[in-house]
Amino acid sequence: MDLRLKALTKSIWVFHLSAAACNNCDIEILDLLTPRFDVERFGIQLIGSVRHADALLVTGVINRKTIPLVKKIYAQAPKPCVVIAVGQCALSQHMFKHSYNVSEPLDKILPVDLYIPGCPPKPEAMIAGIVKLVTKIRKGK
Amino acid sequence: MNLLLSYLIFPGFLFSAVAGLLSCWVDRKVSARVQWRKGPPWHQNFTDIIKLLGKETIVPEGAKATFLLAPCLGLLSLVLVATILGRSIILPAGGFSGDLIVVLYLLIIPAISLIIGASASRNPLASVGASREMKLVLAYELPFILAVIAVIIKSGGVIQLGQILNHQSNFGSNIASWSGALAFIIAILCMQAKLGFVPFDAAEADQEIMGGVLIEYSGLPLAIFKLTKAILLYTMPLLLIILFMGRDLSAQLIIPKFIGLLVIVILIKNTNPRLRIDQSVRFFWRIPTLLGIIAIGLAISGL
């Protein structure tokens, strides 16, 4: 297998983009780094700057105020970079669908590679999602 | 030819990069065990570097040429330090007079390259990080040099690494004396700051200024900076071993010494909160500087 692709899937640095979330998904994401789940075993790290990112973890309802910011942050990330939508809000706007300040779901704005549903999704669900994404990347592309 | 080979391969680039990345893994693994986690596999840092080499390199708009030159400057000078230290361990008589001074100078250059690169990247958070790094350099250099001076006086005024090693193999390790032990404590604290580990990592605080000096770096230059950090994590404990514990440097003794020093640094890192930059400067200019002066006094009086 391609060495570069293998290294990419074995060391995913995640930028946590919280776009007006209610904090519930964010707490579950931080659970992944705690001793019970510890995704650093697979080389997954949370990093501070989007320039270091391999994956963009988007949570929350994307509203009219955050659409330009989300686009800007995706443009700042070095490619190849995958986008992961976490939680029902990022997937389908959930119960805010008819709200006045919400226009379109995340996958109309960015090319989303992985959807993790749930309100909030369990850490197990996120790990299962990451495994599916990694197998998809290794087979395809 | 021999010199080039030793710069590029054995005590130099290749060897120190592998040793540095392995000691970075020790860092991550011990940190993980302290936090009751499992931690990454041993090849994780190699994977990180290879991955960064394959990523896109983004140069921010309006950045100067120093943005890409600064990481190379740091790496090249640090590899030179690793070469000098490695050769003086293998062949204590083979060094040149004054190589300790050269090592001290070259060890500042990685920090300077971080400052140059961060200032070239036109990011406000990076410039905050650069100013903090600058203050930190000013803070820790004074006690570090005092500690080294104590060692020099202790070894009879020689400024050559090989002669310091010779003196220690004749009269016992420096750490076994009062002045040497005091200087050793100071040197460990300064090593912590030089490595940018937690009590003194205000320059690249991940949570408040998002990586600080490294914020605009991606791809290849980021990989070079990570490699520089890794080689520094191999070089600094090695320098401390040469200066303070150089009585017997056979392979079966130098490895436990090295790992012991590494674990001390990592445990300090994991049990302390981050200091503000003014707190670190105040700390370094008060306690370790005072201890350093006491150590020099003790060394002069022969203790």
Q: Domain locations in chain A? A: 3-139
Query: What is residue B228's predicted lDDT score, i.e. its pLDDT?
Result: 92
Query: What is residue B247's predicted lDDT score, i.e. its pLDDT?
Result: 80
Domain boundaries A3-139, CATH class:
alpha beta
Q: Which residues have CB under 8 Å from A55's CB, separation 6+?
A: A12, A13, A14, A15, A81, A82, A83, A84
Of A4, A34, A35, the CB nearest to B54: A4
Query: What angle in degrees, to the nearest 10, is found between the helix axes of B44-53 and B13-34?
Result: 120
Q: Secondary structure of B30-83 in the HEC alphabet?
A: HHHHHCCCCCCCCCHHHHHHHHHHCCCCCCCCCCCCHHHHHHHHHHHHHHHHHH
Convert the pLDDT of each residue in B72-123 to its tens digit: 999 999 999 999 888 888 887 777 888 889 999 999 999 999 899 888 888 8
Query: What is residue A1's predicted lDDT score, i.e. its pLDDT?
Result: 61
Q: Secondary structure of B184-235 in the HEC alphabet?
A: HHHHHHHHHHHHCCHHHCHHHCHHHHCCHHHCCCCHHHHHHHHHHHHHHHHH
Contact call for residues B288 and B145 (beta carbons, < 8 A): no
Query: What is residue B235's predicted lDDT score, i.e. its pLDDT?
Result: 92
Convert the pLDDT of each residue in B158-217 to its tens digit: 888 888 888 888 888 888 888 889 999 999 999 999 888 878 887 777 667 777 788 888
What would the DSSP string read from start to end of A48-66? Answer: S-GGG-SEEEEES--BTTT
Which B positions 51-70 lie with beta carbon below 8 A of chain A? 51, 53-58
> Is B268 in a helix, a strand, or coil?
helix
Contact call for residues B298 and B62 (beta carbons, < 8 A): no
Query: What is residue A47's predicted lDDT score, i.e. its pLDDT?
Result: 86
Query: What is residue B184's predicted lDDT score, i.e. its pLDDT?
Result: 92
B39 touches chain A (CB under 8 A): yes
What's the whole-number mean pLDDT along residues A105-125?
88
Distance from CA of B91 to the nearest CA of A (A): 38
B256 touches chain A (CB under 8 A): no
- Per CB-CB distance under 8 Å, the chain A contacts of B33 are none
pTM for the structure as a whole = 0.90
Q: Domain locations in chain B? A: 2-300
d(CA B141, CA B144): 5
Convert the pLDDT of each residue in A36-65 to its tens digit: 888 888 888 888 888 888 899 888 888 888
d(CA B143, CA B139): 8
B214 touches chain A (CB under 8 A): yes
Convert the pLDDT of each residue in B122-144 to its tens digit: 888 888 888 888 999 999 999 99
CA distances for B117 relative to B60, B81, B138, angstroms? 12, 21, 18
What's the whole-number mean pLDDT along residues B45-56?
88
Query: What is residue A103's predicted lDDT score, i.e. its pLDDT?
Result: 81
Convert the pLDDT of each residue in B217-237 to its tens digit: 888 888 999 999 999 999 999
Query: What is residue B206's predicted lDDT score, i.e. its pLDDT?
Result: 67
Query: What is residue A141's predicted lDDT score, i.e. its pLDDT?
Result: 56
What's the pLDDT band for B56 if we cut at 50, 70, 90? confident
Torsion, CA A31, CA A33, CA A39, CA A40, rounded to 10: 180
In the block, tokens 């005590």 appear at B11
